[in-house]
Amino acid sequence: MVTLSKRVQSVSLSANAAARQLTRQLKEQGVDILDLTTGEPDFDTPQHIRDAAVEAMNNGETRYTPTNGTTPLRKAVQAKLARENQLDYALGQLCIANGAKQIIFNAFAATLNDGDEVIVPVPYWPTFPDSVRFNGGNAVLLECPLEQEYKLQSQQLARAITDKTRWLVLNNPGNPSGAVYNAAELTALAAVLRDHPNVWIMLDELYEHILFDGREHVSLLQVAPDLAERVLLVGGVSKTYAMTGWRIGFGAGPQALIDAMVVVQSQNSSGASAISQAAAVAALNGGLDFLPSQRAAYQDRRDAIMAQLSPVGGIEVLNPEGAFFIFCRCAGLLGKTRPNGERLESEQDVLNYLLESGVSGVAGSAYGLSPYFRLSIATDIESVREAGKRIATACAALK
């Protein structure tokens, strides 16, 4: 019998992946299911990016890459951060990894000792607390429910910091919530962090360009540049450029931290794919002309499903300001009875009922908050609209 480590037993497989797999199985059996589980753009990777990958292959760019990333890609990241975010980084302050997940994992592996604490606002992307636990730390989970728009408040942060706190994680725009911090909210958090110089800040801004209603992205680094020496900015090409399968993420931060993260990566994967890095160079240097139409498509989808869900009794939904998810509180459905006489006792009962009604989502417990569920709008608008109708119809049939 294999003896598993305590660390691997402290984490779990992705609930998103499990929900998606179940949906695929049902579809293969001929069941009519609308899949709203996947946080993955349904757009094709832009043509000029794909062309760059083919050119790289034809030019023989198929060898090992430097662990910290190729120089052309780090220069492209450097230019992107200056151009789009007004942030100035030296090349030595940048590293490339096999997706943003690896950047996060490397950072915690490089900095956490057993028992160190990392503050993670809830709802969260599951990688945050699981990466903390896997690296010996304790995830301090701070609930940020719908009433506070799924955002961490400065008073909460101040109360949670202890002498064991090593990091605060801030996901903006948020997955699964779609919450977007404004300048005033970030300024209030920065004021607390200034009183605690030993606390590092991890900024996950992967959805920075997927914003609605004319919003512009604001980073903590823009309102509090004095904190830059203890901030790790996490980014990538997966969401903006529809490049999820290319597996390219980047980290930007103090060089001592970046150097340590590169050491970690040198022992668990080495450098990211040469072909993917060449494609990412083309992505970052190729402009964002395609973005307005994609952003408008996501906003149309959001508006379409919100029009269906907002009037539904028993479901509470906050209009998301960014990303491509709808996070629904379903407390009002618990205790109701299905047409077959079964009571809905939990969020999973609700999801099972919706699945039988032809819509699949992911339980809120996967993101640390119950009773909720997440729906992805990263699919065509007709499917999104139809999913909303099916949910409304199913809820109306409850007693």
Q: Which of 242, 319, 324, 232 is nearest to 279 (CA)?
A: 242
- Could you read off the pLDDT of 189-198 as tens digits, one per residue? 999 999 999 9
In one letter, which amino acid is 46?
Answer: P
Q: Which CATH architecture has domain 6-44+290-397?
A: Alpha-Beta Complex (3.90)
- Could you read off the pLDDT of 142-194 as tens digits, one per residue? 999 999 999 999 999 999 999 999 999 999 999 999 999 999 999 999 999 99
Q: What would the two tokens of residue 217 be?
A: 């992205």
Between these two residues, 245 and 7, which has the higher pLDDT value? 245
- Could you read off the pLDDT of 40-66 as tens digits, one per residue? 999 999 999 999 999 999 999 999 999
Distance in angstroms between the alpha carbons of the first and the last residue of the chain: 49
pLDDT at residue 72 above 80?
yes
Please tell me the predicted confidence (pLDDT) of residue 110: 98
- The stretch 221-229 carries a mean pLDDT of 98
Q: What would the two tokens of residue 263 be?
A: 């050491």
- The stretch 225-241 carries a mean pLDDT of 98
- The stretch 109-130 carries a mean pLDDT of 97
Please tell me the predicted confidence (pLDDT) of residue 301: 98
pLDDT band (50, 70, 90) for residue 99: very high
Give CA separation, 210 vs 34, 204, 288, 295, 367, in Å.
23, 13, 12, 6, 20
Q: Which residue has the tokens 């973005």?
A: 291
> What is the rounded average pLDDT for all residues in the chain?
96
Please tell me the predicted confidence (pLDDT) of residue 325: 98
Please tell me the predicted confidence (pLDDT) of residue 322: 98
Q: Which residue has the tokens 């809905």?
A: 344
Question: What CATH fold (topology level) applies to the domain 47-286?
Answer: Aspartate Aminotransferase; domain 2 (3.40.640)
- Could you read off the pLDDT of 22-44 as tens digits, one per residue? 888 888 898 899 999 988 999 99
Domain extents in the chain: 6-44+290-397, 47-286
In one letter, which amino acid is 181?
Answer: Y
